[in-house]
Structure 1
Amino acid sequence: MNTPAEPTRLSESRLFELQEAFYHREGMSAWNETPLHATSSSFVSEAYAEVALAFLLDSRIDLREPVWFLELGAGPACFTHRFLTELTRKMSAFSALRDLKIQYMMSDFSPTMREAWTTNAFLRPWVDRGILQFEIFRPDSTPPPDRQLVNPVFVIANYVFDTLRQDAFRAEAGELFEVRVHVTNKVGTTSDQFSDLEVHEVIRPIQARGYYDEPAWNEILEHYQKVYSSAVFLIPIGALEVTRRLRSWAKGGMALMILDKGHFDLAANEGVNLIEHSIHGSISFGVNFDAVHRYLATCGGQTFCGDPSAKDLFASLSVMVPGSPPLERTGYVFAESLRRKDPFDALLSLERMLPPWLDPKDPDWIPVCLAGLRTLSYDPYAFERCAEGLERLTMERLTVEPFLWPALAVTLERVARNLDRTNTVAPAFLLRISFAIGAFDLCVAIADQCFAKREDTPWVLGLVARSHLALGQRDRALAALKKYRELEPQNEWAVAELNRVRLEVLLRKKG
């Protein structure tokens, strides 16, 4: 690995070149290591839809033109399908929005991502409706695709800014220093994997004035030089540059929704001596939300903030719309949906609802589980946490308590609606439980949605055949049984049922 002879700014180091190479190389498999659920769960998607709905109702919209939504770094596309499902459903309840057309642009810098989106069956309905389109561009260095933008644009940046370029500084007793870095391999390693690299830091004194070409960024530096007694802090220049470019692109103004790891409280940096980062396949640096908000304020932005004491994920909504009326509804909904409810802790919330002392054999376990899933907007990952217990109880006890079947069937249907291609565990549980409680239509629908390649899962054909038989759909049952027999020729049930159904079909035709 070649390393520069002299230390460089953090933003100019090879770390960000390697970051880009990682996502180009790994494509969708990058998210086997990179976190995704916290910003794409059903609960988060629904909360975003509520905020977007409030923004649309608060804004002065020209109904003759569409409102554009731009998702930056859409990556695995888990968020998009759920968000659009919730937003369009909510919009239909308001007469002022029923005639409004929305356009949603998923974007990423990697063509590999776009190729994966085009084959995503969960996104296809939105493409066919003319709502969804895919674009490739670099938000921090190239302008977004040209569009006629009359109305405000709603921009979504989930887990994006923490991967963009940042600069590091140290403030010490009124003095300001630039933190430069030198990236080398650990002893005995030669790869470019982040886990094999070491970042060496050196500092040198600088003047804030004139450091950046953008005066507003230098003012932020000067502010930190004054307020910190001893701290290492980051300036998220990638995020600031994205914001600058988007402002010039969105002629009708924009709302910028950010959800990322980082902090808002300046005290978080006091006493910090080294640049903090995380490695999860890629590398990421916490976002300095205070710097982002200070820059947006110089642009006339109105910002709503999440919990300032948040330690893991921080949310904010900044609105920059010329002549915008007070966004009272938007601010209220943001506070309710993204601050008070804390949707980013969804899985932990379910674990609190299902504590260890609540035995799955307890009669209250299933009602508590269903209530928890309803509270968490029927999130598939949350469902996986309790699916094994639900399946076991379905087999053992629900035949005695059929009054729970309707509520369970609704839960299964809603969870299935929120599935995406990353959910590999939930579909099998959904299929088996829906069959066990006699929800045969749902069983067939889940099989069609999630198990297109049934050659790999012959047991699915067995449940599908049984479901068609229970529904009186003999022709469909016959087709499933034939395929099942081909895959498992020694299965006695399949042979017997195939012969029986064939005889019934023959007698029906003669009759």
Structure 2
Amino acid sequence: MPPQQALPVKPDAGPGADACCHREVAGKRPRQPYRTTQDGSPRVQAMTQAGGADPSAVRLSQSRLWLETQSYYAEQGHQAWASGAIPFYLTNTPYLAAAYAELIAAWWHPAAGPGPYRILELGAGSGRFAYLLLQELAARFTSPTAWCYIASDGSQRTLDFLRAHPQLAPQFAAGQLELARTSPDRTGPIELQISGQMLAPGPAPVVVIANYVFDSLPQDCFVVRDGRLYECLLVEAPLTTANRQAPTPLPPRFELHQVAWNYYQDADLDLVLGRYRNGPDNRAILLPCMALRWLRQLRTQLGERLLLLVADKGYGEGQVGEVGAPTIEQHTPACASMMVNFDAIGTYVAAAGGTTLAWLPPAAPLGTVAYALDAGPHGDDRRREGLRQAFANAFIRRAPMDLFALVEQASRNPLALSLPALIGLLRLTRYDPTLFSNCFTTLLQGARQAPAVMRRDLLDCVREVWQRFYPIGANEPLAVQCGALLLEFGAPAEAAAILADAAAGPPPNPPAMFLLGRCLAAVGDKRAAHKHIAGALAIEPACEDYLCAVGILPHRMAQEEAAQLGWEIALDGLDRA
């Protein structure tokens, strides 16, 4: 923030309890209008000091912004991610799941004590990350009863989606997966919805995962100037009948009010706030008050031996504070998020006797932090050192953002990479379905010209990618893409097994139906083949245009294939007569 002249300041606003807005709301809520800048990045427009009280200025943590955001997730359920409105790719990759599995294996060192071991994921959302991590854990821990993964969310609608998802059915049946309703304002014991049991502290250390969670929780904002503390109050647009129906894009602003350093009258939060007494001056310092309270609550619910893994946008020690007003990123008119002050959480963890391991590259869209709270007789140095080494291997030495930069480049211009380079990149990402899908046409064209040994490598890639696929929306293209390559490789029965569910829907998928028909024709089931090809054309006559556009078909041939199959079926009938 540029230097400002001394201005009159507001009197001490005093402490106050944070409004907890992280709850499910059935009805619609008025939208909070935020304007974006010319380059499209949403930002608050001003942060000022003023002498007169603005009645619409509220604590940032009590803004309608947070209630609106949580209402959006509750109303949308998994569609919040299926629609593409909310970014989630970076925290739902096979690479991140494998990295977390390394950290968990180090945390669950044999010296950790007897099991069962438990993992609680906060804000599980679509369930894709849970699905990927469950695969990695199953490969590392052979006893299915030794651990349990608890996918939790604040929205029951989201949990119902997870319970019904066919990809998670084996894990539910094996007792490896549970569901729970969690949010910062649910302070009692955590109830497991499958078994009906209550989650209570146990002898084994617990792992808590919070990917893209803390950035959408209520937080406060402060500025330090010459040792004095100022709270940044958000000036909200007044609610009227007009902006309830059609919000006016008014530019929000902040007002600075001088407050006392014991602002929260809460020993833990005031200790964290006091860390910034000596600066940096004139920078917006976010205080993740709700995340800190939730962490404190989880220590009561789960026990003192806890590993918290966080992947989110934010900053750490030495990076604290934005110049100017803090950024509010508006994903939709009803859903927003802010940066996370990882340093503040680390201050709380250090005061509790824990340690922080952070990978926060400057200007990166995602950082990863491990907070290890390991009190008691089982907290041995050997296990802590194992965790440090695992974190260094998974994040600091391998630099995941460098890999994601390559993935982004390959996805934008797959023709720039040779087929061996694309296969190698797929291996490095641990067979990322998104990368495979984005580069499919190039992979298919390369496969048709590749030598036999490379075709076998690509065939292995297809199988590995399909194993990691977790659909969250209708008619996702991966089934068609994997089926097309398997058919190209001369594996029609295997391709048909992949295509069958996609073809049936709901809703029915005409390209998948057409390819399934070709697979069935290849294995000699002409009647079923004709049914699927003709059915695909009846639902969507232009489906073969799509198949031609992505390179699966060299030219339009669906009508001819349907007619030929019909003719062969008729001839077969004469032969039987």
How far 1:390 moved relative to its partner? 1.4
Structure-2 residue corresponding to 1:493: 561
Larger CA deviation: 285-294 vs 48-57: 48-57
1:375 aligns with 2:425: no
Distance in 1 of aligned mates of 2:277 and 2:260: 10
Q: Secondary structure at the match of 1:334?
A: helix
Structure-2 residue corresponding to 1:255: 307
Over the matched positions of the two proteins, sequence identity in percent amounts to 25
How far 1:480 moved relative to its partner? 4.2
One-letter amino acid of the structure 1 residue matched with residue 498 of structure 2: I
Distance in 2 of aligned mates of 1:7 and 1:463: 59
How far 1:230 moved relative to its partner? 2.3
Distance in 2 of aligned mates of 1:226 and 1:486: 71
How far 1:268 moved relative to its partner? 4.2
How far 1:379 moved relative to its partner? 0.5
1:300 aligns with 2:353: yes
Note if contact 1:252-1:321 (Cα within 8 Å) is conserved in structure 2. Answer: yes
Note if contact 2:431-2:465 (Cα within 8 Å) is conserved in structure 1. Answer: yes
Distance in 2 of aligned mates of 1:505 and 1:336: 65
Note if contact 1:482-1:498 (Cα within 8 Å) is conserved in structure 2. Answer: no
1:349 aligns with 2:406: yes
Structure-2 residue corresponding to 1:9: 59
How far 1:79 moved relative to its partner? 0.5
Q: 150, 156, 161: which one pairs with 1:116?
A: 161
Structure-2 residue corresponding to 1:284: 337
Q: Secondary structure at the match of 1:128?
A: helix
How far 1:118 moved relative to its partner? 2.2
Structure-2 residue corresponding to 1:190: 243
How far 1:121 moved relative to its partner? 1.8
One-letter amino acid of the structure 2 residue matched with residue 29 of structure 1: Q
Residues 28 and 346 of structure 1: is their aligned pair in 2 closer, same or farther, counting only changes over 3 Å? farther
Structure-2 residue corresponding to 1:27: 77
Residues 138 and 40 of structure 1: is their aligned pair in 2 closer, same or farther, counting only changes over 3 Å? same
How far 1:59 moved relative to its partner? 4.5
**Cα-to-partner distance string for 1:292-326 (whole Å, 9 max, x where unaligned):** 00001111112211135453211111121223112
Note if contact 2:496-2:516 (Cα within 8 Å) is conserved in structure 1. Answer: yes
1:274 aligns with 2:342: no
One-letter amino acid of the structure 2 residue matched with residue 39 of structure 1: T
Distance in 2 of aligned mates of 1:235 and 1:454: 45
Structure-1 residue corresponding to 2:544: none
Note if contact 1:454-1:460 (Cα within 8 Å) is conserved in structure 2. Answer: no
Residues 277 and 265 of structure 1: is their aligned pair in 2 closer, same or farther, counting only changes over 3 Å? farther
How far 1:219 moved relative to its partner? 1.9
Structure-1 residue corresponding to 2:528: 479
Distance in 2 of aligned mates of 1:201 and 1:412: 52
Distance in 1 of aligned mates of 2:405 and 2:386: 29
**Cα-to-partner distance string for 1:331-386 (whole Å, 9 max, x where unaligned):** 11111112322334544223556896x956xxx71111100111111111111231
How many pairs does the alignment contain? 490
Q: 340, 345, 348: which one pairs with 2:397?
A: 340
Distance in 2 of aligned mates of 1:485 and 1:2: 47
One-letter amino acid of the structure 2 residue matched with residue 325 of structure 1: D
Note if contact 1:58-1:329 (Cα within 8 Å) is conserved in structure 2. Answer: no
1:102 aligns with 2:152: no
Larger CA deviation: 43-52 vs 414-423: 414-423
Q: 103, 109, 113: which one pairs with 1:61?
A: 113
Note if contact 2:511-2:536 (Cα within 8 Å) is conserved in structure 1. Answer: no
How far 1:117 moved relative to its partner? 1.5
Q: Secondary structure at the match of 2:504?
A: coil
Structure-1 residue corresponding to 2:548: none
**Structure 2 length-normalised TM:** 0.77
Q: 449, 454, 473: which one pairs with 1:404?
A: 454
One-letter amino acid of the structure 2 residue matched with residue 307 of structure 1: L
The structure with the greater share of residues assigned to helix is 1
Note if contact 1:458-1:487 (Cα within 8 Å) is conserved in structure 2. Answer: yes
Structure-2 residue corresponding to 1:95: none
Structure-2 residue corresponding to 1:321: 374
Note if contact 1:140-1:239 (Cα within 8 Å) is conserved in structure 2. Answer: no
Note if contact 1:45-1:82 (Cα within 8 Å) is conserved in structure 2. Answer: yes
Note if contact 1:233-1:269 (Cα within 8 Å) is conserved in structure 2. Answer: yes
Note if contact 1:262-1:313 (Cα within 8 Å) is conserved in structure 2. Answer: yes
**Cα-to-partner distance string for 1:89-148 (whole Å, 9 max, x where unaligned):** 1223xxxxx475211111111122112222222222211222112222213543433324
**Cα-to-partner distance string for 1:156-186 (whole Å, 9 max, x where unaligned):** 0000000001011110111111111121179
Distance in 1 of aligned mates of 2:574 and 2:348: 76
Q: 239, 253, 256: which one pairs with 1:203?
A: 256
Distance in 1 of aligned mates of 2:479 and 2:402: 23
Note if contact 2:58-2:236 (Cα within 8 Å) is conserved in structure 1. Answer: no
How far 1:226 moved relative to its partner? 1.6
Distance in 2 of aligned mates of 1:53 and 1:25: 36
How far 1:492 moved relative to its partner? 4.5
Structure-1 residue corresponding to 2:46: none
Note if contact 2:330-2:336 (Cα within 8 Å) is conserved in structure 1. Answer: yes
**Cα-to-partner distance string for 1:13-38 (whole Å, 9 max, x where unaligned):** 11111112221222222222111001
**Structure 1 length-normalised TM:** 0.86
1:171 aligns with 2:224: yes
Note if contact 2:57-2:233 (Cα within 8 Å) is conserved in structure 1. Answer: yes
One-letter amino acid of the structure 2 residue matched with residue 290 of structure 1: D
Q: Secondary structure at the match of 1:134?
A: strand
1:139 aligns with 2:184: yes
Distance in 1 of aligned mates of 2:219 and 2:512: 49
Q: Please, which runs of 5 or more residues in structure 2 have no aligned partner? A: 1-29, 33-53, 192-197, 539-557
One-letter amino acid of the structure 2 residue matched with residue 46 of structure 1: A
Residues 125 and 192 of structure 1: is their aligned pair in 2 closer, same or farther, counting only changes over 3 Å? farther
Residues 84 and 245 of structure 1: is their aligned pair in 2 closer, same or farther, counting only changes over 3 Å? same
Residues 67 and 291 of structure 1: is their aligned pair in 2 closer, same or farther, counting only changes over 3 Å? same
Q: 234, 254, 261: which one pairs with 2:286?
A: 234
1:246 aligns with 2:306: no
How far 1:484 moved relative to its partner? 3.7
One-letter amino acid of the structure 1 residue matched with residue 528 of structure 2: A
Structure-2 residue corresponding to 1:265: 317
How far 1:416 moved relative to its partner? 0.8
Residues 201 and 302 of structure 1: is their aligned pair in 2 closer, same or farther, counting only changes over 3 Å? same
Residues 104 and 155 of structure 1: is their aligned pair in 2 closer, same or farther, counting only changes over 3 Å? same
Distance in 2 of aligned mates of 1:345 and 1:450: 34
**Superposed counterparts of 1:150-161, under 5 Å:** 150=202, 151-161=204-214
RMSD of the TM alignment (CA)?
A: 3.1
Q: Secondary structure at the match of 1:276?
A: coil
Residues 488 and 177 of structure 1: is their aligned pair in 2 closer, same or farther, counting only changes over 3 Å? closer
Distance in 2 of aligned mates of 1:297 and 1:370: 43
How far 1:192 moved relative to its partner? 7.6
